[in-house]
Amino acid sequence: MSDPRERLLQLATEQRASLARLSEMIGRNPTYLQQFIRKGSPRRLEEGDRRALAEYFGVAETELGGVEEKSYAPRTRLPLDGGWIEVPRLALAASAGPGSLGDQERPFDAFRFSRRWLREQGLDGTQLSAIAVEGDSMEPLLRAGDEVLVDKTPQPFRDGIHVVRIGDTLLVKRIAAQGGGRFTLLSQNLAYPPIEVGAEDIEIVGRVVWKAGRV
């Protein structure tokens, strides 16, 4: 039997799956699987975590340290049962630069998240969608090609990173309320000056709560 740590690293590499994202998928902190592989902590994966990873990769649990032979076909990985929820990836982009038209809000794919992880983050999966980032004004926090998870749950405004619509343009910016119905849109990249807008000129689509991107 191959070493479960080596096998997990091999599977993640072959599937180009980030260990941090896999850790979050099973409801753990982003460094969990990195520590399991590199430092041997924990010594064994818990049964639920092992099962979820086996389902994701379409392999037997024994390959990841399980005792019983429980195989999962690749075509059925991550079944949408009570443990998982599908979040649509929309075919549009939010600009972190000059601006991007967002006229095609249709899903072309989906991310699948652990319901447990979403619950731990205080998120409602039915209110989430994923969109891509364009431009460089939010670097180094957000880079072109990153995808962000947008929470559209109606709630009182609070400062933070949001996706906003100004006319037909989608932007991802850090927003600060200035009072009197005014907002300041701030870029992470200091080469871009702040933008001040009135409440009547802006639609706050949702709050950015998670990102995915290449390391």
Confidence label for 104 from pLDDT (cuts 50, 70 and 90): low
Please indicate whether residue 182 or residue 59 has the higher confidence score (pLDDT). Answer: 182
Tell me what percent of the residues of the chain surpass a pLDDT of 90.
33
> What pLDDT, on a 0 to 100 scale, did the predictor assign at position 26?
84
Cα–Cα dist 52/69, whole Å: 14
> What is the architecture, at CATH level 2, of domain 84-212?
Ribbon (2.10)
Is 1.10.287 the CATH number for 4-76?
Answer: no
Under 8 Å between Cβ of 138 and 100: no
Cα–Cα dist 180/163, whole Å: 21
Neighbours of 172 (CB within 10 A): 33
Cα–Cα dist 152/64, whole Å: 37
Q: Where are the domains of the chain?
A: 4-76, 84-212
Predicted confidence (pLDDT) at residue 179 exceeds the cutoff of 90: no
> What pLDDT, on a 0 to 100 scale, did the predictor assign at position 208?
94
Q: Where are the beta strands (DSSP E) in 142-192?
A: 147-151, 160-166, 169-179, 182-186
pTM (2 decimals)? 0.59
Cα–Cα dist 26/4, whole Å: 17
User: What is the average pLDDT across 82-109?
Assistant: 69
